[in-house]
Amino acid sequence: MTTHRVHNFGAGPSTLPLPVLEEVRDELVDYRGSGMSLLEMSHRGDHYDAVHTEAMRLAREVFALPDDFDVLFLQGGATLQFSMVPANLLTDGASAAIVRTGSWSRKALADARAYGDTYVAWDGANGQFTRTPTDDELQLRPDTRYLHVCSNETIEGLRFPEFPDAGVPLVADMSSDIATRELPWERFDVVYGGAQKNLGPAGMAVVFLRRATLGTMRQDQGAYLRYGIHADKDSLYNTPPVFSIWVTGKVLRWIRDSGGLKAMTAAAERRAGTVYEAIDSSDGFYRCPVEPHSRSLTNVVFQLPDTEAEAAFLDAAREQQFVGLRGHRSVGGCRASLYNAMPQDGADALATFMDDFRRRAS
């Protein structure tokens, strides 16, 4: 029997690879003949240890992570990282530079201020968040410890097509485009992202950390908030989020077996290109407010001529089993999120639907 599947364009949590879901289902109750679910097993035992180690190994392999970086699997999503990054990195006399490109970098900025001297290195608010800056637009102070960027703003639908090369270490929140692109690791001290869009279920952030930074980190927080403690214990200081790590490991294997990050990038470009083409060829019926160079590959935002047309579009889409196309409540409009597990079929079907809807509406 074929599994009933809708086209899921939700911004996250979102589509997971069907073979991964089916494997989880099949292994859920009795894990490999052990007489227990993996959910019931000690995180210090052999079965879980193999799962944990393999997920870490696959993360290193898929991301081509240099040896001098650690992989951490932490709870609290990217939101807790908004606190952990400055609570660890922002030492006395140093400052954090934040590029404000949209809603998520605004949250990172607000949280960083609780931990030390923080400033805005470039502000996209004046341009209503429609592009990312060029390197020469960044205004950096000499005491800057790191430059924080949100590589892809999920809500505004824009991204850094290239990461800044700014002469200070980068920290990147990649929650909505992690595992969709290769990274110039030499520029980064920390890369983090919630798992629930491209990597697995909600309940975890993956954090990549340059090991040399551990020596100069602040130690004035409780244990869970200190990177050094998790790095020392391979993310087993306390009970890890077993299910999230288990499923993320399977998704990482699926990514590797699908051709790795190069293939993910190619697929992302093709999917997004299909939907942007439907927008750009619509004679202005659909409109993407983001400047072409900064358009996101994972979150395509677009508007229709008016809110009435948008409501009719979303209703018609739902009837055709297109799910999750409503834009974020803070900005309105429409949004098609196209993460790694979205097949090209989904983008094709959406583009066809958009063309048809436009013709009927004209």
Of 116, 194, 333, 346, which lies in the binding site for a second copy, with binding defined by CB under 8 A?
Answer: 194
Of 119, 187, 243, 314, which lies in the binding site for a second copy, with binding defined by CB under 8 A?
Answer: 243
Token output for 159 = 């991204």
Of residues 140, 208, 142, the one with CA closest to residue 173 = 208
Token output for 19 = 């073979």
Say if residues 191 and 179 touch (Cβ distance below 8 Å).
no
Return the number of the residue (44 or 360) whose C-beta is nearest a second copy: 44
CB of 21 vs a second copy, minimal distance in Å? 5
DSSP per-residue codes, 88-138: HH--TT-EEEEEE-SHHHHHHHHHHTTTSEEEEEEE-TTTTS--PPPGGG-
Q: Exactly one of 197, 246, 250, 254 is catalytic; which is it? A: 197
> Is 104 a residue of the active site?
yes
Q: Exactly one of 173, 189, 246, 250 is catalytic; which is it? A: 173
From residue 255, alpha-carbon distances to 42, 43, 226 in Å are 28, 25, 30
Print the binding letters for residues 30-69 with a second copy: x by CB under 8 A, - otherwise.
x--xxxxx-xxxxxxx------------------------
Terminal CA-CA length for the chain: 40
Element containing residue 323 per DSSP (H, E): strand 322-323
- Which residues inside 210-239 make contact with a second copy, applying CB under 8 A? 220-225, 237-239
d(CA 348, CA 143): 49
Token output for 76 = 């609290």
Work out whether 203 is an interface residue with a second copy (CB under 8 A).
Answer: yes
Of 83, 103, 265, 320, which lies in the binding site for a second copy, with binding defined by CB under 8 A?
Answer: 83
Residue with tokens 């190619």: 266
Residue 336, amino acid? A
Return the number of the residue (35 or 284) whose C-beta is nearest a second copy: 35
Print the binding letters for residues 13-32 with a second copy: x by CB under 8 A, - otherwise.
xxxx-x--xx-xx--xxx--
Token output for 238 = 């306390």
> Is 262 a residue of the active site?
no
Compute φ and ψ for 78, nearest 5 degrees: -65, -30
Q: Exactly one of 70, 104, 117, 254 is catalytic; which is it? A: 104
Q: Residue 33: left (phi > 0), alpha (psi -120 to 50), or beta?
A: left
Of 63, 115, 208, 302, which lies in the binding site for a second copy, with binding defined by CB under 8 A?
Answer: 115
> Is 254 a residue of the active site?
no
Work out whether 284 is an interface residue with a second copy (CB under 8 A).
Answer: no
Of 50, 114, 266, 361, which lies in the binding site for a second copy, with binding defined by CB under 8 A?
Answer: 114
Of 50, 202, 266, 361, which lies in the binding site for a second copy, with binding defined by CB under 8 A?
Answer: 202
Work out whether 301 is an interface residue with a second copy (CB under 8 A).
Answer: no
- Catalytic positions are 104, 173, 197
